[in-house]
Every structure is written in structure tokens, then in C-alpha cells.
Amino acid sequence: MEFITDNLTALLALTAIALGFGALLGFAAVKFRVEGNPIVEQIDALLPQTQCGQCGHPGCRPYAEGIAEGEEINKCVPGGEDTIRALADLLGRDFVPLDEEHGQTPETKMVAYIREAECIGCTKCLQACPVDAILGAAKQMHTVIEDECTGCDLCVEPCPVDCIDMLPVEETLQTWHWQPPKGIGSRPGELIPVRNIA
């Protein structure tokens, strides 16, 4: 009894603090409630957004949701090793090489091209394009908007007359940049030593 009376102030103070913070936390949980799973957004931001479906999902976001639920991170073909590495970093998982089951990462970026003379205007590729990058209407010639095309390949298969080609994106002066030197043992290419000569 004596113990309780002696420490009554302390007990009351602690209880009050506990209740106060409890109320604060409860309020925060309601007020700042996060809708949806933010990790999905983060994963989605790392995926290349090709929407090609080679991972087995109809688009990048569904795959991001799949990864958030524990699916393997090595199914993104266009992203390749860089994407797997970034995902491994984000999720704290181990790096795993790309699952060959889903295909091989192409070396260059591709873009779809419709051979317009052969197009019969069936609109099948229009429906297949995940980013609405093909322009056309029934019985009218179709064409690909090159800047919007992600090179996902999904329009190639539905074409009944096989008039869609996947072409590599050509390098321009705007996209060119220096290549790394060949490394130790090789002669540096374009750098010039300045020296005094008599």
C-alpha cells in the first residue's frame, strides 16, 4: 500500500502519457491512412513500362503487384539485368539471373513498323497495342507512332498479313554518347599528351 501511495504521481503521469500518445497514434493511423500498397508504386516505377506481357502478366503494373505478393523478380525481359538489380536493391532480395523461360533481353531497343502498302486495315494490331501507339481505323491503313511505341512486339502476332516489322531504333546525334575506353592495356583513343619539344 505504501508503495502505491509513494509512486502514485509517477504511475499517473506514465498512464497519462501512454493514453496521450495512444490517442495521437490512433488519430494518425486514421488521418494519414495510406490507400493501397506503396511498394507496388515503387516497383512499378522501376519496371520499363514496355507493357509487353512477356512476364505472363498483362502489363507492368500487374507484374509489380505480383512481385509485391512474392513473385520472382527475374521475369522482366526488356528490363534485363539492370531492372533485376534495381528490384533486388529495393526489395532486399538476392539477385537472380533472368528467367530464360520468358525470353532473352534484346540488345537494341526496337520499334514496330507497319509496311503500309500491305496493311488491310483489320484493326487487330490496334486492339493489341497496350499504349495506343497505333493509329488507324477499320479498312484504313494503320501506322505506328514511333515516339509512343515501346517495342513490346504484341502487335506482330495478331497481324493476319504479317506486315509489321520490329526495327532497331537508330542512333542519332541527339542520342549518341561517348563509349567507354577499352580498358587497361589498350591505348587511349582521343586524348592528347601535351609536351614541350625543343
Partner 1 sequence: MSRRLWDFHGGVHPAQNKKQSSETSIRAAGLPDYLVVPVQQHIGTPAHPIVGVGDRVLKGQVLAQASGFVSVPCHAPTSGTVTAIEPRPIQHPSQMDALCVVIEPDGAEQWVEREGLGDYTRLDKPTVLQCIRDAGIAGMGGAGFPSVVKLGVKPDQKIKTLVLNAVECEPYITADDRLMRERAADIVTGLQIVAWLVEPEEILIGIEDNKPLAIEAMRQATADTAMEVVVVPTKYPSGGEKQLIQMLTGKEVRSGGIPADVGVICHNTGTAYAIKRAVLDGEPLISRITTITGDCVPEKGNYEVALGTPVGWLLQQAGVKPTDLHRLIVGGPMMGFAVHNMAVPVVKTTNCLLVPTAREFPDPAPEQPCIRCGSCAQVCPAQLLPQQLYWFAKARELDKAMHYNLADCIECGACSYVCPSNIPLVQYYRFAKGEIRNQQQEQQKADHARQRFEARQARLAKEEAEKERKRQERAKAAAAKQAKKAPAASAAPAAGEAGNPSDSATELNKLQTAAAATMKRYKDAQKALAQAEKSGSGNLEALQQKVAQLQAKADAAKTAFQAARAEGAAPEAQPPSAPAEDPLAALKAASAEDFAAYKAAEKAYEAARDQGADDAETLRLRMEELKQRSEASKTAMKEARAKQREAIQRQNAAADPLKAAQIEVAKHQVLLKKASKALQAAKDSDAGAIDHLQAKVEEAEHQLQAAENTLKQLQQEHA
- Footprint of partner 1 (CB under 8 A): 44, 47-54, 56-62, 102-103, 120, 122, 128, 130-133, 148, 150, 153-154, 156-158, 160-162, 171-173, 175-197
Shortest distance (Å) from residue 71 CB to partner 1? 14
Shortest CA distance to 151 belongs to which of 171, 163, 165? Answer: 165
Q: Which is nearer to partner 1, 9 or 174 (CB)?
A: 174
Closest approach of Cβ 192 to partner 1, in Å?
A: 5
Residue 92 or 180 with smaller CB distance to partner 1: 180
Euclidean distance between CA atoms 196 and 191, whole angstroms: 16
Task: Give the count of beta carbons closer than 10 Å to the beta carbon of residue 42.
Answer: 14
Q: How many CB atoms lie within 10 A of CB 55?
A: 25
**For residues 81 and 96, what is the distance between their CA atoms, to the nearest angstrom?**
9
Whether 146 contacts 159, CB under 8 Å: no
For partner 1, which is the closer residue by CB, 6 or 116? 116
CB of 195 to partner 1, least distance (A): 6
